[in-house]
Structure 1
């Protein structure tokens, strides 16, 4: 269903019977033309795995932060031993600081051993979460390589970005009638706000914000490493366009490119 009319909802309120009546009226009048995404293909698998991976990444970050906070309060000798280690080396080192036999609160040296034990426990948690992240990343990467490898050939699109865009498109991309509808779905279609002699288009604040963020990452990557995109940026800058306006145009071009790569060509 399309979103209900806001003015009508404010006037009449909302309830399950009213929502059902509005839905029926929208269908009968032809205003409701949206087609739901299918849930019977590989994209549905990605839709389940992606939140699990994002949750594991967030939990790992939440474990890394207190680990570094404990290091600040640890004794100077321990801080010096672990100084200069990055996250990749810090967690394995902390995981091997103590063994279970030292986990005794009645010991006279419990206060001295407390940072070691806490760092060890946090490091083990980080290691477990890292294994989950790697497993889920592998599943998502294999899914994209199997069902949409053409996306990975595009400059600026990696497995994570490709999965996000595929989730937005769904298992039935034919429901998207044109690249314009896909751009609106991703929130990168410009919205006309011209008045009189002032010609202006504002940012589209609707659409799928995850897909919008994915296209934004694609554009930012291209601005750093893609010569054609850099040339386009320089040319438009000389025409007086701001960086924000140029980025919006590039996001729209990226949406068009993704749409034609994913949507099957009608025979």
Structure 2
């Protein structure tokens, strides 16, 4: 305990200079990757919202939409038209479905455009990565961004696991078996 206190005091007493992130290509890839990830997460949330709207829609509309695949649902809902002869509830449900579907389409287009830009940057700064089996634009970008920040990973195995290319899952050495309580008294 004394060693821990001494180490903490020593760490607090020394001045730590913060190192800024490297600028340039790596930072460009990092911000594009973050923007794409945000678009993908927002698209997933919008898809979940669309499914919830379909479940709560009127029976006739729900029956019409449930038989379609997800991409077909998005396309169909994006093209729904208002009809003044319908009840307010039905019109607003159609409005919500259309708005949500259009948001999904926009976010998916945005994610694809960002991925194309990432692919272009990877072609410029790490073209050999894309020739490897199973490495696409996103994984290659993750590798290039992560590798350019020294000290982020302790070893190559941690880096490979992060990049999703580790052949064996990382383990602490502990087994997954739960220890069963014994009915025998311990000695």
Please report the TM-score for the alignment, with normalisation by the length of structure 2: 0.74
In structure 1, what is the equivalent of residue 4 of structure 2? Answer: 7
Higher relative contact order (CA 8 A, sep 6+): 2
User: Any conservation in 1 of the 2:161–2:169 contact (CA below 8 Å)?
Assistant: no
Q: Given the alignment of the two structures, is residue 156 of structure 1 paired with residue 134 of structure 2, yes or no?
A: yes
Cα distance in 2 for partners of 1:10, 1:152 equals 45
Figure out how many residues of one structure are paired with residues of the other and give that number. 168
Distance 2:44 2:10 in 1: 42
Q: In structure 1, how many angstroms separate the alpha carbons of the residues matched to 2:143 and 2:5?
A: 33
Give the match for residue 214 of structure 1: 163
1:167–1:75 CA distance, 2 compared to 1 (3 A): same
Where structure 1 has 5 or more consecutive residues not aligned to the other structure, the ranges are 1-5, 25-35, 176-180, 190-207, 221-245, 250-267
Answer whether contact 1:46 1:140 (CA < 8 A) is retained: yes
SS at 2:154 equivalent? helix
Distance 1:84 1:146, change over 3 A: farther
Q: Partner of 1:83 in structure 2? A: 66
The CA RMSD over aligned residues, in Å, is 3.3
Distance 1:75 1:144, change over 3 A: same
Give the 5 Å matches for 1:95-134: 95-99=78-82, 109-134=87-112
Counterpart position of 2:114: 136
1:74 counterpart = 2:57: yes
So what's the TM-score if we normalise by structure 1? 0.54
In 2, Cα distance between equivalents of 1:23 and 1:39? 18
CA distance in 2, matches of 1:219, 1:160: 16
